[in-house]
Amino acid sequence: MTDEFDVEVDADDLTPMTDGEVVLGDPSVVVDDLHVTYRILGTRRKAVEAAPQGRMRKLVGRSLGSTGGVTEIHAVRGVSFVARHGESIGIVGTNGSGKSTTLQALAGLIQPSQGSVYVAGIPSLLGVSAVLVRKLTGARNIMIGGLALGLTKDEVEERFDEIVEFADIGDFVHLPMTTYSAGMAARLRFAISTAAVPDVLMIDEALATGDAAFRERSRQRVDEIRRQAGTVFVVSHSLASIKAMCTRAIWIDKGLVRMDGPAEDVTAAYHEHTRARSGPAKG
């Protein structure tokens, strides 16, 4: 019983994967020795070294502590895999292991510092921050998101009602997104991103804030996308969600692929690993 690790129990409500229906197709995503390095401004790894003596020097040291420093973070250190049409892949790993960064590189939103990523069609990433433009209404965000995804104005208007209905936000659609709850924003983003069936959809923790009903609906949407030969990536800390939604899982640890295989096996191994690490207090 590996599910005991999960904080949320909602995921257990999900109906099981409808496996076997989807035949895996040609490669849709090829990742070849991907490296990503970040640059963080205004920080120093060792801001305070030897504490300076004297009041004046302390003051100067403190105010210069964050001046001119650039920290490089090597978040992804050589990830390679091939994904295929009709496949849904869960990505697991501890915080800071490079999962989200990998997805952003897959989506073409950050540039690899080394290696390459090849993707079929236009990828769509559902990130942690679900809001596109905070100040604007949900309706405007639907238009902006749809147009950015390459739909025409008419196509967006055509799908508008469907998007609002799927997001289940009712009259809130005419209010600025500052008034939305995290779950509402996430639902709207999910609805926008899947309005045009994407070739490659990446979901980065975007479902974590949704309620059980929404998660079930989004799982169905993911299945639908797979059936239409899309490829779906899911980053989640809920192993039950990964098992329910994914056929395959990749475990990323310290920027490297530690394990790649059937979702069942990888989540089990990952669970074993985290339980061992959290020590006997947990077990």
Residue 82 CB: number of other CB atoms within 10 A? Answer: 13
Among 92, 107, 163, 245, binds other proteins (CB under 8 A): 107
- Smallest gap from Cβ 39 to other proteins, in A, equals 4
When asked if residue 259 is in the footprint of other proteins (CB under 8 A), the reply is: no
The answer for residues whose C-beta is within 8 angstroms of residue 175's C-beta and 6 or more apart is 137, 138
Among 4, 7, 16, 39, binds other proteins (CB under 8 A): 39
Q: What phi and psi values does residue 8 have, to the nearest 5 degrees? A: -90, 140
- Smallest gap from Cβ 280 to other proteins, in A, equals 36
Q: According to CB under 8 A, which residues from 152 to 211 bind other proteins?
A: 152-153, 176, 189
Distance CA 146, CA 189 (A): 10
Among 9, 47, 59, 147, binds other proteins (CB under 8 A): 147
Q: Which is nearer to other proteins, 41 or 51 (CB)?
A: 41
The token pair that represents 246 in the structure block: 């994914």
Contact criterion met (CB below 8 Å) for 118 and 153: no
Size of the site for other proteins (CB under 8 A): 59
Residue 274 CB: number of other CB atoms within 10 A? Answer: 16
Count helices and strands (H / E) in the chain. 8, 9
245 three-class SS: helix
Among 5, 84, 235, 257, binds other proteins (CB under 8 A): 84
When asked if residue 69 is in the footprint of other proteins (CB under 8 A), the reply is: no
Strands 231-235 and 200-204 turn out to be parallel
Q: What distance lies between CA 105 and its chain's CA centroid?
A: 11
- Smallest gap from Cβ 7 to other proteins, in A, equals 25
Select from 8-16, 115-123, 161-169, 238-246 the region that touches other proteins (CB under 8 A).
115-123
Which residues are at the interface with other proteins (CB under 8 A)?
24-32, 38-41, 80, 82, 84, 104-112, 116-120, 122-127, 129, 131-136, 140, 143-145, 147-150, 152-153, 176, 189, 247-248, 261-262
